[in-house]
Amino acid sequence: MFLQGQKVGKYEILRSLGSGGFGSVYLARDTWLDIKVAIKVPHKQSTELYKLLKEPRLQAALNHPNIVKVLAAEKEKDVFFMVMEYVKGKSLEKILEKEKILDCERASDIIKQIAYGVDHAHKNKIIHRDLRPSNILISEEGTVKITDFGTSAWLNSSQYASTRIGSPPYMAPEQFMGKASYSSDIYSIGCIFYEMLVGRPPIFDPDPFKILEKAQQGRVTPPRLKNMKIPKAIDALIMKCLAPKVEDRIQSAAEIIRELSKIKGKEEKNGQLEDIFIRIKAREQRQTTLCWNCHRPLPYKAKVCPYCGENV
């Protein structure tokens, strides 16, 4: 819709950043402030402004380091667009296309940051409904940012959002039925975690109805069976996020954060214990000197043999 070098109000279009099902995103320069920004132009340019303002208003209600910040919503020559912070980096989708599988520590850190952002959104009564690798940006410094709230919804008085929408490989069973809730985002987080460690989503099929059927029946192969490097605790956490029934699932993003912190704490504690054992073993290995008189092993740095009393 916009061309490189085109001026749109005070914004100069630098290049296209990509296009999705709901809009196109461009890298632009704010000529007044001399900063780079991301501009999102919805494909559907409705004449009803309140419909266009739904996404920017919803995203602007969130202020968190793990969520892309909305800077403005504008309209120039009948073209409505959103202005957002520009995240210099790559989407998780692009990273996975190149690296296929991430190590457990890196994947856990990414999930923890996603969970922080989701927890903030849920506390503000907002569900994302389309959490997937393409909507997760990772800056060059390693900061994870959730973007694209085009399918998100406010849950003010209702328990769930009734519109059936999302990306099938990352959708919870109830989301297919038009009953997306906070727990549906937890399921999506589990799908992303699974994909980072295994190389593909837990249920992958071109037919959405087959995905729904398998999801409802809980026909998910535990990730550890596909990648034995995954710790049992991480495997259990992912499977609990992917429980087909909402009541059996991890109940909040905050709980994911707590579980990951607990797992990391145990790993660090085990690492410290291992270090202690290595030191003990090293000391034992030093005790190889024998007494010249009775030929028994001497304690480390001993000056007198404790067995025969001879000076050594």
The DSSP secondary structure of 163-226, one letter per residue, reads: S--S-GGG--HHHHTT-B-HHHHHHHHHHHHHHHHHSS-SS--S-HHHHHHHHHTT----HHHH
Amino acid symbol at 152: S
Q: d(Cα 171, Cα 191) in Å, to the nearest integer?
A: 8
Kindly state the helix (H) or strand (E) to which residue 304 belongs, with its residue range: none
Q: Which residues belong to the active site?
A: 130
Going from the C-alpha of 133 to that of each of 147, 207, 229, 257, the distances in angstroms are 10, 20, 22, 19
Extended strands (E) in 169-265? none
Confirm if 55 and 83 have CB atoms less than 8 A apart.
no
Q: Which residues pair with 28 in a beta bridge?
A: 13, 37
